[in-house]
Structure 1
Amino acid sequence: MSRFRAMWQASLNVTKRAIRWNLEDLIPPAERNIFSFNSKEELKRWHLYSDSEYGGLSSASLEIKDVENGLKGIFSGNLSLELSENSKWNISRGGFCGMRSKKFNGFIDLDGYDVISLKLRGDGRCYISTIYTENWVNSPGQEEDNSWQAFVHVPKGNWYIAKIPLARYLPTWRGNVIDSNLEMNPARVVGMSLSVNAEGGVPGATSGPGDFRVELDWIKALRAEY
């Protein structure tokens, strides 16, 4: 009987360990690094865009430079509300620039996370953090990825860690919220971007045409309790 009890106890211990390991596999780490702006190779993962593609006069650049004993990304440029005289595009004004990641190889699954966190140092402007997910929200004429946007005000001066709950990202189509009741599918993230507009944003943020500059250290996904 004692031998049977010992075998049963050993089997039970193995089962408990297996269950514990499986639960640990289901719970993701407290944080997940998505982008680290610490090498020139990082630049290959991004491309720039601005109103200059539509006849505007804004400009932007993305560089990796040594900042305070470490390499950091620098997204900077100039926002202009003016338009080229020979523009063939039907837009009323310019004033936007952005940096967008190239599509991930497939997608990344952020279903176990609640917050997008960015470590940056800026100029007092309000920037727009965008998450692109695989298209499953049907909008008229929309074939590209779904976009979800949230404001991030970057104080001027010191390094700042912004934490944006995924629930704060709203579904948008060409910069306009399409239905605030829609929910993101964080399991099918295909890319991200950071952009800036000359106008709009949150109260108290620097706005208007002119130079902009934000330094980037990393972008991570966090669990809410982190």
Structure 2
Amino acid sequence: MSRIRALWNASINATKRALTWNLEELMPPQEMCVFSFSSKEDLKRWHLYSDSEYGGLSSASLEVKDAENGLNGIFSGNLSSEVSDGSRWRMNRSGFCGMRSKKFDGFIDLDPYDTLAFKLKGDGRCYISTIYTENWINAPGQLEDNTWQAFVVLPRGNWYIAKTSVGFCLLQIPLASYLPTWRGNIVDARLEMNPSRVVGMSLSVNAEGGVPGTKSGPGDFKLEIDWIKALRSG
């Protein structure tokens, strides 16, 4: 009987180990790199936009430059509140620039994660992080993606990263902090993001608005960016 009991216990323990291994394999990693900005190839996944498309005079560039820890992306330019003479467009506001990820096949699945983390170096301005999800809120036939936005506030000259280490601070934005917006205005409704159907992201900056106390107004801007990651706290 003791031999049978021993075989039975060994079988049970083997089954438990197999189940544990399978669960570990099914669990997503604690973090996932969504976008990196360490090469020119990485930057090809993004395109720039600004008020210049509608008669404004703002300008932006995105390039890779050497930094202390390797190569980083540099999103920079100039914000102008002026409109070009003879513009065909009637603009409600000018003074904005942004960088948005290009369309890609499929979706970014952020469902296993609860936080976006950024490694950034700011200039004292308030930037806006936008997540675009597949259209499931707006009326059928409306082709625009759903947008969810959160402020990115970076004191000038400091590096903000997702993990604590000497000389570095944290910048983590919970997905729950992103608010639904429609053409820059917050949607006054109880809506929930579908993180499994992310179709793109962007970072943008406006000459006016943002968080009180941050740098604002026309003029130069510069945001250094190394990567964007998704984190799972559980």
Matched, 1:178 2:190: no
- Partner residue, 1:64: 64
User: 3-state SS of the aligned residue for 1:211?
Assistant: strand
- Partner residue, 1:167: 176
Deviations 1:47-71 (A, max 9, x none): 0001111111110000001012410
Matched, 1:213 2:213: no
- Which amino acid in 2 is paired with 1:213? K
5+ residue gaps, structure 2, are 162-170
User: 3-state SS of the aligned residue for 1:99?
Assistant: strand
Change (3 A) 1:154 1:142: farther
Larger mean Cα displacement after TM superposition, 19-28 or 123-132: 19-28
Deviations 1:127-168 (A, max 9, x none): 000111111111587312111100011110121232111011
Aligned residues of 1:79 and 1:211 also touching (Cα < 8 A): yes
- Partner residue, 2:128: 128
| Matched pairs, number | 225
5+ residue gaps, structure 1, are none
Deviations 1:192-216 (A, max 9, x none): 1000011111111101111000100
Change (3 A) 1:63 1:141: same
- Which amino acid in 1 is paired with 2:109? D
% identical aligned pairs: 75
- Partner residue, 1:79: 79
- Partner residue, 2:106: 106
Q: How far apart are residue 18 of structure 1 and its match?
A: 2.5
TM-score w.r.t. the length of structure 2 is 0.90
CA distance in 2, matches of 1:18, 1:114: 28
CA distance in 1, matches of 2:10, 2:105: 44
Q: How far apart are residue 26 of structure 1 and its match?
A: 4.0
RMSD of aligned residue pairs (Cα, Å): 1.7
Larger mean Cα displacement after TM superposition, 92-101 or 136-145: 136-145
- Which amino acid in 2 is paired with 1:39? S
Aligned residues of 1:83 and 1:93 also touching (Cα < 8 A): no
Aligned residues of 1:170 and 1:180 also touching (Cα < 8 A): no
Change (3 A) 1:25 1:103: farther
Deviating above 6 A after TM superposition, structure 1's stretches of 4 or more consecutive aligned residues are none
